[in-house]
Structure formats: structure tokens, C-alpha cells
Amino acid sequence: MAQDISLYFKFPYVARNAAQQIVSKRSRLVQALTMMLIITSLIGINAYRVVQLQLIQGEYNRERAENNRIRLVPVAASRGTIYDRKGKILAGNQLSRSVYLWPQEYSPTEWSEVATELSSILNISASDIINKLEEVGYNSPLAVRIISNLNPTTFIALAEKAGETRGLEVRTENIRHYPNGNLAAHLIGYTGEATKEELISNPEYPMGMIVGKMGIESTENSTLQGVWGNRLIEVDAKGSEIQELGVQNPTSGKSVKLTIDLDIQKAAEKALGNRRGAAVAINPKTGEILAMASGPTFDPSLFAGKMTTSEWQRLQGASKPFLNRALQGYPPGSTFKPVTSVAGLQSGKYSPNSRVRTYNAVTIGGITFNEHSGGYGLIGFRDALAYSSNTFFYQMAVNIGPEAISKWGRELGIGGSIDLKLLGIDGNHGQIPTPKQKEEIYGEPWHIADIVTMGIGQGLVLVTPLESSVMVSTIANGGYRVQPHLLASQTGTAATKSVKTGLKPSTINTVREGLIDVVRKGTGRSLNDGTIPLSGGKTGTVELPGQADNAMYIGFAPAYNPEIAVAIAVEEGGYGSVGAAPIAKAIFDAYFANKGK
């Protein structure tokens, strides 16, 4: 020790360096021991956690992993509302309960057993449930809707089962609601779950997507449907939600406003009643459809839930309630005589002052054609229309020919000159075939009887009630062919701009005065009772082999500043003045009553 001290005094720098090395070694040793202790602690903690999870809590965690599920649940967007022209709801939404099944929860064999148990509660067949599951596949990670719009009784009965059955879920969601029942069903249409083909065509659609299937619901589906959202949730074995992991909110659909007037639509449907036929009311200046009734009709709410077999069979029955008769071609009968009048006056062979002798019957081409109630002597256009003389128009039709009648019929709105695609609902055009077209359509040569019957709107002539309403509007408004439409947003646009026809003012005035005389003194006198402004119109009674006559009527009001035009067709309705004219009167009553308010 003394030696070391002596060395320290003899060699101070050497000794100091050696001391520092000793301290440095000790420091590194402490650091290494500390690091080893930290690492050992971390390994120990992790090892302990592994032991805890695998051994101590292993059974619990395995059960939790088995029972809990992460599910992506679509959140339906609220479908847009459909309004009438005054803002009254035609189609909206209401809350309901729907049953969903999660395909992955059971094997196909197990699902077969579950479906059998559910079928008696839900009142649907087990095969329908299985078909729904098989359609999406048992490996689908998304739930499939089995039934919508559960009634309270079924919901209560299902409550016990829901607590026992894994993969069964009852959701509260919006369904389509039609507050006026079957009113305007052919126009509004209905909704339903997207088919497999629709899902494939629209990859953005979630399972259970509700889409329009008919009418405005279908044609305006992209506007009404909105964008569905999603919720990512964790649920337990019974399907009860544990926690929400994330949410993407839906975007509601936009509303659609129609040109339909709910009050006029109600009046038309009430007057038509349960009879087969149609009634159309339009604005003769703009083409806005104010009402379009077709009977018999159907309740679009049926498609919101489970439709019964009897309900489906009725919809497929002989009365064809799905058929929109407003766009169905009918022989127009005497309501076509304004077209023959226009063709005669425009041909140059007749003037407004021309007169034609009428008879009890005329023989043309060896065939006798009768007047309906005896001859009227020598008469002009106005009386021929007022009293609906057949022999007047038989002779005129033969004189001017089918090409002239067909040409001016199209100019007035018949046979394809109005755009049904713009209208947005399925339907047909009428026809006024020429001899060449008859051979193309029917494969038969032209016969003299074809032109004779064409003159009074029978034989080969077919006109839809919608076309009749456009035809009479063209005469009433001064010669402009309107484009009928249902969307309020289309009114006044280039797409619905009226087309000026080639009708001479003298032609328009002559035919219009003749139609006003029908109401003043002719077959439409029942509409001239003083309760509404003076109107113009034309009755029609159509003879059909093997059945009662069809009743027809066209009209417009007021007579000299028309605001509304109508066309009525009633199958087997008898005389037009009896079976159809009262419906027109009910529509006019509703229109002018509302205008007064």
C-alpha cells in the first residue's frame, strides 16, 4: 500500500489513469447488469401474460373469440318522398321491423332446421327462407333480409325465438308508405328488394337494397334511393350488440314533385270506380298530367311486406290490375271524329262552310253502313260533330283517303308523335294505319270497309286515352301539340315544349266550335248544367263484337280559354254520354272547385 502511494507521488498521471479504468469497468458492469435485469423483466412480463392468457384465462378467451362477432351492418338511407303538385305526399316512409339472418352462423343442415322453426312464426315457407340464404351463399359475411314489415303479433311471437337463435336479427328500418292507398298506383309504382341481377348490375348496392320496380319509383330511382351507410359492430353469440366500432352515415334520397293534383286524381278514381277503364286529365297548354286513373288498380303497399298467395293471384287475374289502361289502345269511336274533321278541312276538299248530305244509311263498295239514329239531312261540320253523324264522316273519309287521316292523326298526337320515354312509365302508342302499314302489321290487303270505319274511329284505329287527351288539347289550345309529362321539374323545359302543328286557324276554329256545340246542344248536354264553365267535348259509343259497348269521352274547359282537358274510356260502359261523360264532369267539378278555393 505504501508502495502504491509512493508510486502515485512519483508517477501521478499513470496512477490516475489506472483508477479511471477501474471506475469505467465497474460502470459498464452496472449498465450490463441493469440492461439484463430490464430484458429479463420484460421477458418475464410477456411470459406471464402468455401464461395468463393461454392457461389461466384460456378457456374464457376461447369462448369469447367463438361467441363474439364483428359485423358490417348496412344502414338504409331514407328514400325520398314523392309529392303531388301542391306538396301533398303521394309516397313516403314509415318505421317497421324486418327479420335478417346471418348465413355464416350455421351449416346448411342446421339452417334447414332453423328455417322450419321460423316458418311457422313468420308464416312463410321454410323453402323460401332457404332460397334466400342460398341466393347469397352460406359463406356470405352479410345478413340477408327474410321478411319486412312484421306485424305486432309476429314480432311478439318472434321475440322468444330471437333470444335462442344465433344469427337471427330483428331490425327497425324504414319501409315505403303510400298514405293514399292505391291512389295513382300505376303512376307512382312500388318498391322491392333488389334482385340478384340488379345487385350485379349495381355493385354499389348493399344486400337488401330497396329499389323502385314500377312507375315513378322506378324511373326516378336514382334520385329517390339515396346512399346507404354502414355500421361496424361487435355482437355476442345471441346477436346482441356489444359495441360500435365505426359508422358511415347514410345519405337520404331526394324528393320528387309530380304534376299530379291529388284532389283531381281522387275525383277521377272515385268516378271510375271498380270499372275497367281509364281517365286522363292534362293541362292543355303545358302538357302537365293532372290525373291519370286506371281501373282496376292495386295497393303498392302490398310489396312492402310478405304478399299472400291470394293477393298475388288477384294481381295476375283476368282483370289485369297491373295494366295501365290510360296507355292502352282502344277503338276511339266517335271521339275520333275531330281527327277526320281536321283531315277533311286540311285536305282542301272541304271548307268550314262545306255541307254534306246525311242519310239513314250509305252503301259504299257494295256494303251498307248505317247511321246511328237516322239521317240529319244536309249539315256542316259543327252539326256533324254536335249530333255525331256517322254517314257524314263515312263519306268524308272515303273522299280524303286513309293517308290524310293517318297524317293528321299523328299531327294531333296519335300513333307515336308524343314521347312516352319522357313520361317515364310503360305504355303503348295507338295506331292509324295506312294501306301499306296494314299489310306490314297484319299481312292483309286494304279493304274499302277499312277507310269507312276509320272515319268514325273504329276498325283498325286504336287510340290511348292519353293520346286522346293530347288530341283534344291540340284543338282546344289553338293548334299546339303538347308533350304530356309527370315530373314538375320538366314543365316549361325544352323537352316538353309544345309543337306548333300545321293546322289552319279556320280548321281549328271550326272543329273547336263543333266540340263546344256538342255540349251546348248535342250528345254532351249533361255537362252544360251551369255548375262549371261552358266546355267542349265529344262522346263516343264503341261497338265491339261479343260484348257490351265501350263508353268514351273527350273534353276541355273552359271553352274559350282551356285550362284542363280530359279523355275517358270505360270498357263495357255503354253510351258515352252515360258511361263516360259523368266521369269527365266529376273531374271538371273537382278542378273548378279547387280553383275557387
Task: Mark whether 270 and 239 lie in a shared domain.
Answer: no
Helices and strands: H and E segment counts in the chain: 23, 21
Q: Domain for residue 251, yes or no?
A: yes
Rounded Cα distance between 93 and 432, Å, is: 44
Q: What is the amino acid identity at position 509?
A: N
Rounded Cα distance between 79 and 191, Å, is: 10
Within 477-547, where are the H helices? 505-521
Structure confidence at residue 431 as a pLDDT band (50, 70, 90): very high
pLDDT in tens, 316-366: 777 899 999 999 999 999 999 999 999 999 999 999 999 999 999 999 999
Task: Mark whether 46 and 178 lie in a shared domain.
Answer: no
pLDDT in tens, 483-522: 999 999 999 999 999 999 999 999 999 999 999 999 999 9
Q: Domain for residue 316, yes or no?
A: no
pLDDT in tens, 212-243: 999 999 999 999 999 888 878 787 766 666 77
Rounded Cα distance between 515 and 559, Å, is: 9
Higher-pLDDT residue of 208 and 406 is 406
Are the beta carbons of 501 and 481 closer than 8 angstroms?
Answer: yes
Full residue range of the structural domain in which residue 18 is found: 2-65
Q: List the Cα angle 293/553/321 in 5-degree steps.
A: 30
Rounded Cα distance between 343 and 337, Å, is: 10
Q: Domain for residue 317, yes or no?
A: no
- Helix, coil or strand: residue 19: helix
Task: Mark whether 360 and 435 lie in a shared domain.
Answer: yes
Q: What is the amino acid identity at position 352?
A: P
Cell numbers at 331, concatenated: 277503338
Last residue of a domain, one of 231, 257, 283: 257
Please name every residue paired with 500 in a beta bridge, in sequence order, or none if there are none: 480
Rounded Cα distance between 473 and 467, Å, is: 10
CATH of the domain at 111: 3.90.1310.10
Structure confidence at residue 72 as a pLDDT band (50, 70, 90): confident
Q: Domain for residue 315, yes or no?
A: no
Task: Mark whether 37 and 102 lie in a shared domain.
Answer: no
Strands 378-380 and 355-357: antiparallel
Task: Mark whether 39 and 131 lie in a shared domain.
Answer: no
Tell me 310's DSSP state. Answer: H
The number of CA neighbours under 13 Å toward the Cβ of 242 is 13
Rounded Cα distance between 6 and 28, Å, is: 30
- Helix, coil or strand: residue 522: coil
Last residue of a domain, one of 33, 65, 97: 65
Last residue of a domain, one of 45, 65, 85: 65
Is pLDDT of 481 > 80?
yes
- Quote the pLDDT of residue 7: 42
Rounded Cα distance between 470 and 452, Å, is: 24
CA dist list (Å): 434 to 398, 406, 407, 424: 13, 7, 9, 29
Rounded Cα distance between 294 and 301, Å, is: 17
Task: Mark whether 327 and 394 lie in a shared domain.
Answer: yes
Measuring CA to CA, which residue among 316, 231, 228, 262 is closest to residue 83? 262
Q: Domain for residue 525, yes or no?
A: yes
Domain count of the fold of the chain: 3
Please state the rounded mean pLDDT for residues 394-423: 96
Task: Mark whether 103 and 22 lie in a shared domain.
Answer: no
Question: Is the Cα torsion angle 474, 479, 482, 488 positive or negative in sign?
Answer: negative
Question: Mean of the per-residue pLDDT values for the chain?
Answer: 87
Task: Mark whether 35 and 145 lie in a shared domain.
Answer: no
Q: Given the C-alpha cell 291519370, which residue does it identify?
A: 292
Task: Mark whether 284 and 166 lie in a shared domain.
Answer: no
For the whole model, what pTM was predicted? Answer: 0.82
Task: Mark whether 7 and 147 lie in a shared domain.
Answer: no
pLDDT in tens, 568-583: 999 999 999 999 999 9
Please state the rounded mean pLDDT for residues 25-51: 65
pLDDT in tens, 131-179: 888 888 888 877 888 888 888 888 887 877 766 778 888 888 888 999 9
Task: Mark whether 345 and 453 lie in a shared domain.
Answer: yes
Is pLDDT of 24 > 70?
no
Rounded Cα distance between 235 and 242, Å, is: 5
CATH of the domain at 412: 3.40.710.10
Task: Mark whether 18 and 84 lie in a shared domain.
Answer: no
